[in-house]
């Protein structure tokens, strides 16, 4: 008989502070336990009248070099690394309080979020956890960028990037587990091109960026004195971002993904379109058999593609 997997939240409040990548401000964040079926929510504590923001596609207001929830003054940016860490640990319910317009970037990875969540500890709640099962193949494409998914018994991602220059082409295949995320994905850092830094500064972005919280790539190679954590750190971080953006669905999606040249905007558009497809995503109670079996072989068969004429250009490089 299958064992029903229960929802999880953290055991106790835990707070931390760090620099905001884009605002350059010192930000304090408190993670709080939340009740069963409450989901992942964000709150601007420096705005007493501001409404609580649920982590869902409808609340994503910007994907310009980060994923932002909310709009106007009541917004919280750079949520994707925490969302990825929560997804990897299968945390269903939590309240995230921030005293500024974004979350701290720390070292540009999800490593510090993983450490904080494990320091707080996780506890089961008296409600069944849920998963979203993919029922048929589906592809979303925008120019030469695409995300494809097909049914599988667990979550996996095959990612491909091609930036040319000093970054080049990379591919990485990730099969979901808490251990694999911590070892293979969670420590990979955000990155940018040196030539794009001036442009980002002119837009009021990356004001807190430095070699301490991002991999910076110049025309001759990596500028960080310690180099890369992995030879293919760039594509691993793209998977981290994809996991975080996909977590906006409200429950882990079980399927086999192949992603080509992904970014926050492509991730958002894929998720919005996939959730709107009748019968494509089926929410089920999670039992003990979920996520145990290996996915199918790498690569997807040719399936009908959803081709869109997108008037809004996708950003060439997402942090």
The residues assigned a catalytic role are 264
Tell me if 228 sits within 8 A of 281, measured CB to CB. no
Give every CB contact of residue 214 below 8 A, 6+ residues apart in sequence. Answer: 21, 105, 108, 189, 190, 191, 192, 206, 319
Residue 183 gets which letter from DSSP? I
Tell me if 160 sits within 8 A of 298, measured CB to CB. no
Give every CB contact of residue 115 below 8 A, 6+ residues apart in sequence. Answer: none
User: What is the C-alpha to C-alpha distance for residues 264 and 244, in angstroms, rounded to an integer?
Assistant: 9
Give every CB contact of residue 255 below 8 A, 6+ residues apart in sequence. Answer: 133, 134, 149, 150, 151, 152, 155
User: What is the C-alpha to C-alpha distance for residues 178 and 160, in angstroms, rounded to an integer?
Assistant: 22
Angle of helix 80-88 versus helix 111-120 axis, rounded to 10: 50
- Give the count of beta carbons closer than 10 Å to the beta carbon of residue 250: 17
User: What is the C-alpha to C-alpha distance for residues 140 and 280, in angstroms, rounded to an integer?
Assistant: 13
User: What is the C-alpha to C-alpha distance for residues 273 and 263, in angstroms, rounded to an integer?
Assistant: 15
Give every CB contact of residue 80 below 8 A, 6+ residues apart in sequence. Answer: 66, 67, 240, 241, 244, 245, 264
Tell me if 244 sits within 8 A of 87, measured CB to CB. yes
CA distances for 211 relative to 112, 117, 190, 191, 310, angstroms: 17, 25, 11, 10, 34
């Amino acid at each position: 008989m299958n064992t029903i997997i229960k929802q999880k939240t953290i055991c106790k409040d835990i707070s931390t502070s760090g620099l905001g990548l884009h605002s350059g401000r010192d930000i304090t964040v408190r993670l709080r336990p939340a009740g069963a079926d409450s989901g992942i929510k964000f709150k601007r504590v420096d705005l007493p009248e501001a409404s609580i923001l649920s982590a869902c596609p409808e609340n994503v207001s910007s994907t310009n070099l980060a994923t932002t929830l909310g709009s106007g003054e009541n917004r919280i940016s750079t949520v994707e690394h925490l969302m990825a860490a929560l997804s990897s640990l299968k945390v269903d319910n939590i309240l995230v309080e921030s005293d500024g317009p974004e979350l701290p970037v720390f070292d540009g990875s999800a490593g510090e979020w993983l450490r904080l969540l494990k320091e707080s500890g996780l506890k089961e709640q008296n409600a069944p956890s849920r998963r979203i099962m993919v029922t048929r193949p589906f592809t979303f494409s925008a120019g030469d960028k695409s995300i494809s998914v097909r049914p599988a018994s667990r979550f996996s991602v095959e990612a491909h990037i091609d930036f040319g220059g000093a970054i080049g082409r990379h591919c990485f295949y990730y099969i979901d587990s808490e251990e694999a995320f911590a070892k293979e994905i969670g420590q990979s850092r955000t990155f940018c091109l040196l030539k794009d830094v001036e442009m980002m500064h002119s837009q009021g972005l990356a004001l807190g960026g430095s070699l301490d919280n991002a991999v910076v790539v110049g025309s001759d190679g990596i500028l960080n004195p310690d180099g890369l954590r992995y030879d293919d750190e760039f594509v691993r971080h793209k998977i981290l971002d994809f996991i975080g953006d996909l977590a906006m669905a409200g429950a882990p999606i079980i399927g086999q993904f192949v992603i080509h040249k992904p970014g926050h905007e492509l991730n958002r558009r894929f998720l919005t379109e996939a959730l709107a497809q009748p019968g494509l995503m089926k929410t089920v109670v999670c039992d003990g058999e979920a996520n145990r079996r290996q996915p199918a072989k790498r690569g997807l068969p040719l399936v009908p593609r959803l081709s869109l004429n997108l008037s809004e250009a996708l950003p060439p490089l997402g942090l």
